[in-house]
Every structure is written in C-alpha cells, then in structure tokens.
Amino acid sequence: MSYHKNRSIVIRNAIIDSLFILWCLFWRTGLGLTFFTIYASLGYIYSWPFYLAISIILGFAPWGWKVQEERRDREEERKMRKLKNQIGDDFIYAKAESNIEINYRGVIFLKSVFGLFVSGFWGIILGWKAIWSMVVQLVDNIKTIVKYI
C-alpha cells in the first residue's frame, strides 16, 4: 500500500474515531443532565428533599454504564490472556459459558431500578476516569491528524 493511501486511511480513521468520541461525550453528558433535570423537577414539584440526591445519582448513570463497559472489556481481555497463556499458540480452543436466570416481571423491574442506582454510583466514583480516557484518546487522535496533514 502506498504512503499516500495509508496516510489517508489513518486520517479518516482518526477523524471517525474523534467524531465518535465527541458524540459519546455529548450523548452521555446530555442523557445524564436529562435524568438530573427530570428528577430534580419532580423534587421541586413534590418538595421532597431526597429527589435531589436521586437526581444526582441518576445523572451519573450514563457514565457508570461506560465504566462498567470498560470493566467488562478489561475482564474479558484478562480472561483471554490467561487462556492464551494456559494453552499456548498451537491449539484452537473453544469455550462456551452460559448463565441461567429466572426473571419475573417484578424481578426485572427491581433489577433495572437497582442497576440504575449502581451505575450512578459507579459514575460518581469512576466516571471522571472514563471521561479522562476519552479526552486523552481525542487529543491523541487530533495529534495524529495534525501529524499526517
């Protein structure tokens, strides 16, 4: 592949990745602000002081989803590295995992509500780390674009 074609592919991929990162930053922050606004307005209507705490926790839930996604990806990578170290490069290995869950309507509702609050706490505690990693990746993409232009 020629240098110019390779350069245009690198620039295109960096631009697409940068736009996706910007979209994710705006989407997660906007969704969190929407959650916060909805529940804060309910607290204003009903004058219930716990609505503010609930709205803050739910406002960080989209970033908690990102933190949980990154944690799952790291865990999967770790499992694959461990598996690769155990069997080496000479064999093809297949493994299947299954989870059996019995869900009733009430259980599904409680799990989803509990999941929102857990995601909110993850977002409050580690959301800054997810935001920072996305900003660092964005800056790196911009440096790549400037370098190749």
pLDDT of residue 82: 83
pLDDT of residue 3: 64
- Judged by DSSP in three states, 92 sits in coil
What integer is the mean pLDDT of 124-128? 94
pLDDT at 116 over 70: yes
pLDDT of residue 42: 80
The tens digit of pLDDT for each residue in 17-50 reads 999 999 999 999 999 999 998 888 887 777 677 7
Find, among 6, 3, 14, the residue nearest to 144 by Cα.
Answer: 14
| Between 84 and 141, residue with greater pLDDT | 141
Domain ranges in the chain? 3-69+102-148
| Cβ contact 94:59 at 8 Å | no
